[in-house]
Amino acid sequence: MVIPASPVWFITGCSTGFGRDLAQLVLNRGWPAVVTARGRDRVADLVEGHTEALALDLDVTDQAQIGEAVSAAQAKFGRIDVLVNNAGYGYQATAEEGEEVEIRAQFDTNVFGLFALTRAVLPIMRAQRSGNIVNFTSVAGLVGFPGSGYYAASKHAVEGWSDALLAEVGPLGISVTCVEPGPFRTDWAGRSLRQTPSTIEDYADTAISRMEGTRAYSGTQAGDPVRAGEAIIAAVQQDTPPRHLVLGRFGYDAVTAKLRDRLTSIEATRELSMGADFPDG
């Protein structure tokens, strides 16, 4: 993978959290960047003094805004080298009590908005025969936790789509990396987490306990978002950027344990699996 000495970054969700810290790191390196948020006034301070920066309004659920933002980026810089799909939020509920309007709103942002923006940027990267697509998912994109089933489903969707995307665009010189953070000190729980409280006592020791703990834990997480941003930049600069970038010790341990367990479970049913073919197959 060949990237320019001064790659052009396009980052969503830069008003707070991972997006803001990553944008600051990119700009501090003197690299050109498109910094977006739902209200560019929320990122005006980030781009102040950076002549090679562009602050834009972008709600990823608004198709018209996506088109305008990508066109503005191309008009100013002529290319997009790194697309960071960071915009998104959390939703917690038991599987039984999830609310339809909340579930669909979550998917509109975390999944369909990400898909739409990537589709808009791909023609530019195809023409360049180069580019890096960085999709923020979560440890929950690989591991399901009680109380977070719908959030996990949105992140699993992006993971599966990213596998297919890489198979299509990898031969064109475009890499795809999913960033999978564990708990990080970004105020995610206090700022962008929605919850549907459970009223079913049967879930007290599973979903309810975890939902209560998520907010209580906010502000004490082990993960450092600035160090996470540095790791993302380092990964993108590799000759072959990784397909997965799990961030934080909790995340690394949880994901590797889950994958080992999954492989063991699949191998345990090998005879049943192989026996499902036609005998003459």
* 8 A C-beta contact, residue 14 and residue 46: yes
Q: How many whole angstroms from its chain centre is CA 239?
A: 21
Q: How many whole angstroms from its chain centre is CA 17?
A: 12
Which amino acid is it at 236? V
* 8 A C-beta contact, residue 137 and residue 245: no
DSSP 203: G
Burial of 234 (0-12, 13-18, 19+ CB in 10 A): exposed
Q: What six digits make up the tokens of 142?
A: 């690989």
Give the DSSP H/E element, type plus range, for residue 37: strand 33-37
User: Active-site residue among 151, 203, 217, 252?
Assistant: 151
Which amino acid is it at 31? W
Q: Is 151 a catalytic residue?
A: yes
Nearest to 29 by CA among 236, 244, 246: 236
Active site residues: 151
